[in-house]
Amino acid sequence: MNEKNIMDYETVALDDERDALVIIDQTLLPGRTELISLHTAQEIWDAIYLLKVRGAPAIGVAAAFGIYLLAKQTDTQEYEVFYEAFRKQKEYLNSARPTAVNLSWALNRMEQVCVRSRELPVEQIKEKLRAEAVHMKEEDIQVCKAIGEHGLTLVKPGDGILTHCNAGQLATCKYGTATAPIYLGQERGYRFSVFADETRPLLQGARLTAYELQASGVDVTLICDNMSATVMRNGWINAVFVGCDRVAANGDTANKIGTSVVAAVAKRYHVPVYICAPTSTIDMDTPAGADITIEQRPAHEVTDMWYEKPTAPEGVKVFNPAFDVTDHDLIAGIVTEYGIAREPYTESLREIFRIKESKQAALKTRA
């Protein structure tokens, strides 16, 4: 049997022939690898809400392909009618998940394409939307790679690294964010030992991170969420690398529920916590963590979703926030594609965006 490696699949892809957004249904992993084709607004919204495609950057790229496909279906030559339909679809897709800023970031970027091209025939606007979505996917790969290069400067061969949730290839278009230094290090013979938190309640660490790292030949050990203190106290962890769904202007970071617990424990054991953050996930319009909307998810994810029998009494009250905020003073550095931001984040993150703008301006001048 010649089973394809999970790393050989594209997390998010555009199928032009079938006018479809193609994703790996991540809810079935690691047991089954199934690609699904999405065509309608409802299918795309459901896939994002149900975490068939998940992870902030992957959600952004999926939304960009999605809105392009929906715009393509709009049958009109009139810009105003086209734009009105686009805005409605955009609002709908944007309502699927509130915390990952990449969703609105990607949709806003697509809307800007419409607005900038309003003098063009609708058919040409559609082509521009396609080009922008394809570009966003390529950009995501480059961004993750750059995060990996910067992240790799923070660790040394043989280090123990702990990660939480899945900020891996399955959460992006390639490399992942938190896993990018791990994959680049693996290519260069660093021999890290990685500890993956299982990440209750949806088990992204067990089902996805442990799976993709193992498939890549990385030395990975799966632990329950309540074991991170033990491995840190044992001296097995030199650094924590995690992803994020929204970084506020002061460095407070929303990521998968449980990240703040890991960060508090890491502080106790003097282990640095690094947030791997594409600039698309940094929201300078959100001043602090308290301003971030935290997604609340249904009770059944906690009580019975992954178990043959329910693990809680029927009807019990459940609190199920999908994300938490790690206070900026628990974070040793925010690793972006343009370098590593350190305290005070209000200034260093602004500097990262200054670097971004000047690099982008230089690229435009050269083009």
Residue 245 falls in the annotated catalytic set: yes
Alpha-carbon distance of 277 to 167, in angstroms, equals 10
What's the min distance (Å) between Cβ of 123 and ligand MRU? 35
Alpha-carbon distance of 64 to 132, in angstroms, equals 8
Residue showing the smallest CB distance to ligand MRU in the complex: 243
Chain-centre distance of CA 245, in angstroms?
Answer: 6
Binding residue (CB under 6 A) for ligand MRU from 94, 117, 177, 250: 177
Alpha-carbon distance of 327 to 334, in angstroms, equals 12
Q: Which residues contact 296 (CB under 8 A, 6 or more apart)?
A: 320, 321, 322
Q: Is 322 in the site for ligand MRU (CB under 6 A)?
A: yes
Q: Which range touches ligand MRU (CB under 6 A), out of 74-82, 164-172, 261-269, 352-360?
A: 164-172
Q: Which range touches ligand MRU (CB under 6 A), out of 108-116, 117-125, 171-179, 182-190?
A: 171-179
What's the min distance (Å) between Cβ of 170 and ligand MRU? 9
**CA dihedral over 302, 304, 305, 307, signed as positive or negative:** positive
Which of 245, 252, 283, 324 is catalytic? The answer is 245
CB atoms within 10 A of CB 143: 25
Q: At what angle do helices 101-116 and 79-94 cross, to 10 degrees?
A: 180
Alpha-carbon distance of 243 to 59, in angstroms, equals 14
Q: Which range touches ligand MRU (CB under 6 A), out of 28-36, 151-159, 170-178, 188-196?
A: 170-178
Q: Which range touches ligand MRU (CB under 6 A), out of 35-43, 121-129, 237-245, 359-367?
A: 237-245
Site for ligand MRU in 74-103 (CB under 6 A): 100
Q: Decide if 244 contacts 276 (C-beta within 8 A).
A: yes
CB atoms within 10 A of CB 42: 10
What's the min distance (Å) between Cβ of 48 and ligand MRU? 9
What's the min distance (Å) between Cβ of 79 and ligand MRU? 35
Residue with smaller CB distance to ligand MRU, 126 or 137: 137
Q: Is 240 in the site for ligand MRU (CB under 6 A)?
A: no
Spell out, one character per residue from 104 to 143, where the chain touches ligand MRU: x when CB under 6 A holds, - when not. ----------------------------------------
Q: Is 52 in the site for ligand MRU (CB under 6 A)?
A: no
Give the helix, strand, coil percentages of the chain, each rounded to 5: 45, 15, 35
No. of helices (H) and no. of strands (E), the chain = 12, 14
Residue type, 118: R
Q: Is 250 in the site for ligand MRU (CB under 6 A)?
A: no
Binding residue (CB under 6 A) for ligand MRU from 11, 23, 54, 152: 54
Alpha-carbon distance of 241 to 222, in angstroms, equals 15
Q: Is 171 in the site for ligand MRU (CB under 6 A)?
A: yes
Degrees to nearest 5, angle at CA 241 with 353 and 156: 100
Binding residue (CB under 6 A) for ligand MRU from 94, 172, 238, 303: 172
State both tokens at 282: 């940094």
Binding site for ligand MRU (CB under 6 A): 51, 54-57, 100, 165, 167, 171-172, 176-177, 204, 243-245, 255-256, 322
Active site residues: 245
